[in-house]
Amino acid sequence: MNVVKRVIHFATKNKGKYDEAVRVALTYGIELAQVSLEKYEIQADDLRKIATVAAEQALKEAKTSAILAEDSGFFIDALNGFPGPYSSYVYRTLGVDGVLKLLEKVDERRARFASAVAYCDEGHTICFEGVVEGNVCLRPRGQKGFGFDPIFIPDRGDGRTFAEMDTDEKNRYSHRALAFSKFCEWASHRLCTND
Amino acid sequence: MNVVKRVIHFATKNKGKYDEAVRVALTYGIELAQVSLEKYEIQADDLRKIATVAAEQALKEAKTSAILAEDSGFFIDALNGFPGPYSSYVYRTLGVDGVLKLLEKVDERRARFASAVAYCDEGHTICFEGVVEGNVCLRPRGQKGFGFDPIFIPDRGDGRTFAEMDTDEKNRYSHRALAFSKFCEWASHRLCTND
């Protein structure tokens, strides 16, 4: 059984992301502490690169010896991967309705959410990824979650969107939960002492 | 009369941007040399911030004592400024047709191109901006220029799109030409010796 031996800092201003991550980490006996730093984000197609630079920059700013940063994106096949790593900006400007307008009269609605979690200490940075496959629905459904959750139906679910699930349920399928699970698996061996 | 006293390096991989800038600079007796570096771009809504970080990073990578970097964006009012600083990514994924689809049945078609030119030497970074106001047309027209040029009609022109103008003509109105003109004005006083 894992025993909480240390707190790991997670640099994010997004309360929704933090809430998802903290629940995953607790199942591994790891406590996450939110560090509300402005995220330093580069423009890149590769989420791992964005998360890595964000974690390295956060480590410089935060008074901690190690830190986590996460980057995620929503990739729609029929739109050549758009909005991809710029999902947050696209959500703020076009919103869910803008993305649905781009998909009007488009039958091919395959999409995926992806997440990259980067852990950085003074020695190195290591990245963990999670992906969830699904489809974009025709109309937004649900009020939970955030971002494009109301228009994404994960393949492994029962036909509901992410926004129709509470956090624990979404975490059973989500890209972010998967990436954080991989991190926690690694961290519980590497960073914590098991009894 | 200005005499070319030095070459100023411009970090860009975009031949179209370089061609526009070099013509402007020459009218001030300034020679621009292209440095084909991968641009280091942060995610930000402010073009000046993006250009500044790009110039500072380029200076670290290039073997020069001073360098220029430029960032530009296409801001559409009805889309809350989208695609803004992410115009290049949006052009690669959605293209001109995607942006026109977002504007289907939208009467309000005001838009602007903006450019920020950052000059960085070892002592400081200074930014120069240019903006050109206009409208998004209903259908793409013209083969010249690059990016969203085929759907942008500048107010100060004669109704043609940027893509229907050759470089010298576009430079009479363009955001980039204006930003580079401001830089050259400053540079011809500050950096060159006038006879």
How many folded domains does chain A comprise?
Answer: 1
Give the separation between CA B47 and CA A40, rounded to whole angstroms.
15
Residue B1 lies in a domain: no
3-class DSSP state for residue B109? Answer: coil
8 Å CB contact of B98 and A102: yes
The residues of A annotated as belonging to the active site are: 71
CATH number assigned to the domain comprising residue B128: 3.90.950.10
Active-site annotation holder among B19, B46, B71, B195? B71
Residue A137 lies in a domain: yes
Mean pLDDT of chain A, nearest integer? 92
Residue A24 lies in a domain: yes
Question: Across residues B127-155, what is the average pLDDT?
Answer: 97
Residue B155's nearest CA partner among B130, B172, B131, B135 is: B135
Confidence of residue B195 (pLDDT cuts 50, 70, 90): very low
Residue B158 lies in a domain: yes
**For the stretch A89-127, what's the b/e string if a residue is b when 16 or more beta carbons lie within 10 angstroms of its beta carbon?**
bbbebbbbebbbbbbeeeeebebbbbbbbbbbeeeebbb
8 Å CB contact of B82 and A104: no
Which residues span the domain enclosing A53? 7-190
Question: Across residues A28-45, what is the average pLDDT?
Answer: 92
pLDDT of A62 higher than 80: yes
Confidence of residue B12 (pLDDT cuts 50, 70, 90): very high
Please report the residues numbered 65 through 104 in chain B whose beta carbons come closer than 8 angstroms to any beta carbon of chain A.
79-82, 84, 86, 89-90, 92-94, 98, 101-102, 104
- Pick the residue with more confidence: A3 or A21? A21
Confidence of residue B189 (pLDDT cuts 50, 70, 90): confident
List, for residues A128-138, the tens digit of each pLDDT value: 999 999 999 99
pLDDT of B86 higher than 50: yes
pLDDT of A193 higher than 80: no
| ipTM value for the complex | 0.85
The residue of A41, A43, A101 whose CB has the most chain B CBs within 10 angstroms, and thus the best one to mutate to test that interface, is A43
B147, B94 in Cβ contact below 8 A?
no
B111, B136 in Cβ contact below 8 A?
yes
What local confidence, expressed as pLDDT, does residue A191 receive? 67
Residue A107 lies in a domain: yes
pLDDT of A93 higher than 90: yes
Residue B78 lies in a domain: yes
Residue A195 lies in a domain: no
What local confidence, expressed as pLDDT, does residue B3 receive? 52
What local confidence, expressed as pLDDT, does residue B63 receive? 83
The answer to whether residue B155 is catalytic is: no
Residue B74 lies in a domain: yes
Under DSSP, the state recorded for B39 is P
Question: Across residues A51-77, what is the average pLDDT?
Answer: 95
What local confidence, expressed as pLDDT, does residue A63 receive? 83
